[in-house]
Amino acid sequence: NHDLAQLVETSDEWVVTRTGIRERRFTAEDEFASHMAIHATENMIAKHGPQVLDGVDLVILATSTPDALLPATAAIVQNHFKLKAGAFDVIAACPGWMYALSAAAAYVKSGMAKKVLTIGSDALSKILNWEDRGTLVLFGDGACAAIVEAVPEGYGFKSFVLGADGEGAKHLNMRCINTTLPDGSPLTEKVSMNGREVFKFAVRVMSSATREAVAKANMQLTDIAYFVPHQANFRIIDAARSSLELPPEKVVSNVERYGNTSAASVGIAMREALDDGRIKDGDDLLLVSFGAGLSWASSVMRWHAKTF
């Protein structure tokens, strides 16, 4: 925060009070989403052994900051690890990795793929307006990687809820090829956001999508061991927690150290809760995210601590 206060008119106190964020990481000038995606996958290999990638037949990579429009960043990852696999990107803003998880789960369930390397990688620092204090302080760069494959009966994804409301496009956007939305309103050169509107939407949808995913899984909120929300702003997380009447110890939050890492956010939070021993084999988890679109996604899953 102190570094950013040298660039724009803000202060550590303002950022901490309004968002809970103290630190975030930014990629170097020559590092992009593909580099972080490869690092995250290498971390997975370091943890589980090289056999973790054996038999991967599909790579799905969620990002809003692909290295290029052509090729898909997923194909860069496929080539790096020499996987005999299909590869495509998902663009669905911050919930992108959860959309990727839902697609991976559907591919595996249908038999169209057996083992899916599912990555979230976003270098939002590359597309921020470094003069806009309203967005600059919120985001960080990061990546997560996971394998989705068949698990024993009773484990795995129990529900997915995916939603979008394109009416809200005006509240959070950035141009690519076109310069306007269909209604003629301008798309901006860099990320632009109406913070207040996104805040209200986020609090509302985090609790409604959570309730929906739990109901769809035929479960109760009290069955959930850990609530792993998108890490955008601690006030959003806490407002959702409070409206869902969840005890604070059930909520995973690391927004303080990473800011909003977009598509990587839920995966990084999950990884930390696994590493420190909070999430255990058989725990029921609730994952929920929201972002530009406006869009959202939630899921209930029973964690399977597989050894590869």
Answer for which of 18, 114, 190, 250 binds ligand ACO (CB under 6 A) is 18
Nearer to ligand ACO, 85 or 236 (CB): 236
Return the range that interacts with ligand ACO (CB under 6 A); candidates 27-35, 39-47, 129-137, 144-152.
Answer: 129-137
What would you report as the CA-atom Rg of the chain, rounded to the nearest whole angstrom? Answer: 18
Answer for which of 195, 204, 211, 274 binds ligand ACO (CB under 6 A) is 195
Spell out, one character per residue from 21 to 60, where the chain touches ligand ACO: x when CB under 6 A holds, - when not.
----------------------------------------
Residue nearest to ligand ACO as judged by C-beta position: 291
For the bound state, the minimum distance from the C-beta of residue 93 to ligand ACO, rounded and expressed in Å, comes to 3
For the bound state, the minimum distance from the C-beta of residue 264 to ligand ACO, rounded and expressed in Å, comes to 12
- Specify the DSSP element, H or E, that contains 12: helix 12-19
For the bound state, the minimum distance from the C-beta of residue 25 to ligand ACO, rounded and expressed in Å, comes to 16
Nearer to ligand ACO, 56 or 128 (CB): 128
Answer for which of 94, 213, 224, 287 binds ligand ACO (CB under 6 A) is 94
Cis-peptide, bond into residue 71, ω within 30° of zero = yes
Tokens of 254: 């690391």
For the bound state, the minimum distance from the C-beta of residue 42 to ligand ACO, rounded and expressed in Å, comes to 26
Residue type, 152: P
Does 240 engage in binding with ligand ACO (CB under 6 A)? Answer: no
Pairwise CA distance, residues 185 & 33, whole Å: 29
196-225 residues near ligand ACO, rule: CB under 6 A: 196, 198-199, 202
Pairwise CA distance, residues 253 & 272, whole Å: 9
Pairwise CA distance, residues 32 & 34, whole Å: 5
Q: What is the 3-state secondary structure (H, E, C) of 125-144?
A: HHCCCCCCHHHHCCECCEEE
Cα-based distances in Å from 227 to 223, 250, 278, 300: 11, 6, 12, 9
Which one, of 198, 215, 120, lies nearest residue 161 by Cα? 215
For the bound state, the minimum distance from the C-beta of residue 5 to ligand ACO, rounded and expressed in Å, comes to 8
Annotated catalytic, 230? Answer: yes
Which one, of 176, 200, 202, 191, lies nearest residue 291 by Cα? 202
Which is it for strands 58-62 and 284-291: parallel, antiparallel or unpaired? unpaired
Which is it for strands 192-193 and 172-173: parallel, antiparallel or unpaired? antiparallel
Pairwise CA distance, residues 301 & 308, whole Å: 20
Nearer to ligand ACO, 202 or 269 (CB): 202
Spell out, one character per residue from 154 to 173, where the chain touches ligand ACO: x when CB under 6 A holds, - when not.
------------------x-
Chain residues that interact with ligand ACO, rule: CB under 6 A: 10, 14-15, 18-19, 93-94, 133-134, 137-138, 172, 193, 195-196, 198-199, 202, 232-233, 260, 262, 291-292
Which residues are known catalytic residues?
94, 230, 260
